[in-house]
Structure 1
Amino acid sequence: MSAEEKQHDRMASRLAIIISRLLMGERLSVTRLSQEFRISERTLRRDFRERLSCLELTYQQGCWSLAHQHECLRTNRHILHFARVTRTEQLFPAMDNRLISVLTDSSVEPPFIVWQSPPERKPGPFGSFWRITQAILERTLLDLTAEGQQYRWFAPYRLIYFENGWYLVGEYARQLQVFLLESITDVCLTPRQFLRRRQIDALTADPHFIRSLPHFQYLRKVLTDTETQG
């Protein structure tokens, strides 16, 4: 292989690595890439401005990245966040890039099966589940009917899935409240917003609290009856 061919081969390899990392959502610094590939920053600037001109790139604060219209691409960072939210990361020795590569490779037979019991009644694609989700994201108060009773100005904090059921955790009349999602028959968004309390936010992530969700209404009734009798 001639010197010119070797140079072209190195350039092709370098560009392939850069494109791969851009598609993974990375922001690439010319200075760091210069040290990594042991080439001049001038050569790298030419890579981005000329050789990669077919890509829609943006340059901010000394770093190159894909433009905004490519934000729909999902990276390993997004997958790791999803694993943390759904608590699937605790099922594996380590949720790293190697494992993600195995889990997302559709060309091979999956080496794992993760079985979770589905909810007794799966939420539909429309209706209360997504209205509640919207209210949680926008911190909007709800008017809802649960277990045959109306709750006006209900502040929703989290939807939590535990032991075959979805639970809505929120605040009503300055008190913590929990409803089984299937017991909610009517949900309306209101124009009013609310401020989340840190204590309730922390409580919804507490494993002890989550394990108590199926018994919340019973415990509340017992405590209320005890206070009344006292």
Structure 2
Amino acid sequence: MAYKHDYDKILTRLTVILSKLNDGEALSVKELAKEFNTSERTIQRDFNERLASFPIYQEKKKWKMQEGYKIEKTQSLEDEIVLDIMEKITEGIGGKFSTKAHKLLSKIKNEDFNPIYTKLNIEDISDKFGDIQVLETAIREKKELQCFYSNEKHELYTTTIQPLKIVNFEGFWYLIALQDDILKKYYLKNISQPKLLEVTFEPEDELEKLLDNSLSIWFQRDNEPFEVKLYADKLATKYFKRRPLPTQKIDSLNSDDTMEFSVTITHEMEILPIVKYWIPRLYILAPQWIKEMVEDDLQEYLEASRFIIED
């Protein structure tokens, strides 16, 4: 969960980008990255994810607004866009959080119509607001905390941790924390009764970079990063060009609209679910041991399915 200044930077950047698009400009990722002093990957993520609800498209490495579409400037353009985006993001979270946010935003907007639609499958954590406030305080003040945690076996135990960041991966909320200098991830809903301690600590310096380069919650701080090479067919190529993975690097674009590309990861589970989701349109070329893991899982699946059908 980003701090306030992080949100301010993101919202300012998005509204400036949309304002430029609304005025008919064709925008380059490279030029925008230089203008906002950020990475090209971050700008690409703005277009592919944060602004995906708007009718924008990429042509010859330039992003444009669909012809004929215009955001009405009935209010300040920046204010209107920010409110619309905020409303749709909070709807995706659901529960009490969404209800309260909608009421507050409605008071500001004074209208019910919103031209933006998003489908975010984010779990509801509105019942954890009290605990989250304690976690945020501990992160901000760099204080250790003690809490109860229920593990995968539903065993409840007490632990003392150094909380670093509240994050969301694939719709699920986690707390990233240090315990005995080991970077761990705690499922947020399994944390209860957090209590601030007076012991302070120094946060992990490389966490932001680690999060930016991660493909999923399976990332590991202490593992040596390694490269996975993949082949995408025509359909998968279109998707992975439109929405590239963190650390994605295109190795070759082929004449039949397929491509070979690579990603750098720290744990095999960062890439395995993605490959399985895209079967048979995405293939692992290397390393061999990950390719064999996919093949073994497929073999196990086929044997199990035959057993179930025959039974």
Q: Structure 2 length normalisation: TM-score?
A: 0.36
When Rg is computed on C-alpha atoms for both structures, the one with the higher figure is: 1
